[in-house]
Structure 1
């Protein structure tokens, strides 16, 4: 692991114990869980599907996917996040596989998936466009890319980078919907944008920044 990735992994390892305190991370409120369940059901209809949760964190989205009957593989750079995800799903009695590794190039070998999903991950990556290109190769024909992203209100030049040098990351602080759509469009056959900022239940309360999903089919 190079120096930058090591620093990023250490940051998220340190953040893991408190990560689920955020309403949309831990999904402790039933209304927040239901809001995400509804969205995921619309984005990934049918099934069960083989789903790769790239940058799975503590596994809250993985848990919802597994509860819906999908076969879930979660990948996260931070071993502390992976361990919490394993514990969370085991405690809920839901099967899933979790791997510690770079979510930009998941350690899944020749395995292919019906869907690759990531939530609030791209801004943390040293080369997010390379990650998008690689994720598309992990999809079976007709597979779906689900990217839940945004441009965070608190982001800006005055914000303190979360790791040394992180302010220079290509999409530090998030990425606009039009910019992400431009990056994904040439890689896929179909693409749509779904605004999410107005759905306060997803976030545990109102938000004023840009949040959305890019839904793409290869």
Structure 2
């Protein structure tokens, strides 16, 4: 877990990375430093990622939302930015913990279709023989991650409406396999903000500047 930015100021922001090749570093070396100039920012390593222990089980959204609750228990109500599966956990957390989340930014969420489609979407970043490749292989072969993903029901409009009145921003990639997720969010939450950026699933890398601006505007808008 990494804390950036001021110890006081606007609502804290917790940034959640995606599975397999993601970690706190995904945000630390891209968007987080700019956002931390104005507010406290907390970056997490999910279990089995980055510096966190690779547990054999517990990769469903319910378990990971529980992890998030424990890792943010010291914070006042906070905003969440979640990329990929991190966005799914963010929605689950907001539904399970009413009043804890002030706003949600969902970056290329894998809501449309089978959640296991996350695997081929990130596979290009896990080349054989690299650290990322070895870590991904261990997650695939030595944990229940794939089983847990397969057991996750598809995200529905009712699930998304379960976040209540929390302001929502959704940003998807024009070339992402999950682009239709933005349309699903739009049907469920017509008042939400939605943007399509040129790029694929890794918008924090390929559309870093534009994503940073969208997140900054959303977080700083008192009327969001």
Give the TM-score range, shorter chain.
0.3 to 0.5
Which structure has greater strand proportion?
Answer: 1
